[in-house]
Amino acid sequence: MAIPLVTQFLSSAHSSSLYLMLSALLAVAAGLGPVLIWLWVWEHEDKHPEPAKLVIYAFIGGALGVFLALPLESLSSHIVTAIPLMILVWAAIEEAIKYSAAYITALWRAENDEPIDSMMYMITAALGFSAVENAFFIITPIIHDNFHLAVALGVNRFFGATVIHILASAAVGYALALGFHKAPARRTFYTALGLCTAIVLHAALDLSILYDVGGSEITSLYFIWIGVIALVLLFERVKRLRTT
């Protein structure tokens, strides 16, 4: 019932700029809502939640990162034409941007005082990135009054692309957690290792969906959700790391 009502409401403004504005707002809401669910889930993994302002900063930083990633990915697509390599380059761009967003907004601050905090800030930046990316995917079918497709895309990205962003950034966060008490040179090594792992993981999961490994998209989702289980286990391990 809700979808026809929304369609009827937006259609009444179809010829005006109000329609585009409402479509954009709806796309943002559709991209943001599911992501906030994931944020709530992972924030509850930390017994000592991060300061709300830093969570917001990291989320906004990740969201703004999309606007840097888009032109860089567009440029790289004119340089790299082989699809697998292009996916790898795009993954590298996105993981570097998400890490930079988390670092600029939160990771360098004194409030980042527990190993698990690094994972939380990385995941938060990833969710901000994913929220805007989801909105871009959803806005086109909304503008064309195809709300069923918009809902299908939203659900698909909630269980697919958004989780890939979470897993990849969590890999960086986990590496940062392991290097939390190490000397600067060792922390740099762990950061580089985490980023490389995230890039390979992100690209591999994207390619598994793109090439439909195993003959069914369900197979790709199995890989993704096995990753979620592994992430929960890593969270439990990081919680046991000493704070000082």
- Name residues of the chain where pLDDT drops below 50: 1-15
| Rounded Cα gap, residues 25 and 152, in angstroms | 18
pLDDT the model gives residue 153: 79
pTM for this entry? 0.83
Task: Name the token pair of 142.
Answer: 């909304």
Instruction: Reduce the secondary structure of 204-237 to three states and give it as a string.
Output: HHHHHHHCCHHHCHHHHHHHHHHHHHHHHHHHHH
Domain ranges of the chain: 2-239
> Which amino acid is present at 49?
P
Task: Name the token pair of 176.
Answer: 């940062």
Q: Which residue has tokens 């995941």?
A: 123
Question: CB within 8 A of 51, min separation 6: which ones?
Answer: 111
The model's pLDDT over 27-84, given as tens digits with 9 standing for 90+, comes to: 566 566 677 777 777 676 666 778 889 999 999 999 999 999 999 999 999 999 899 9
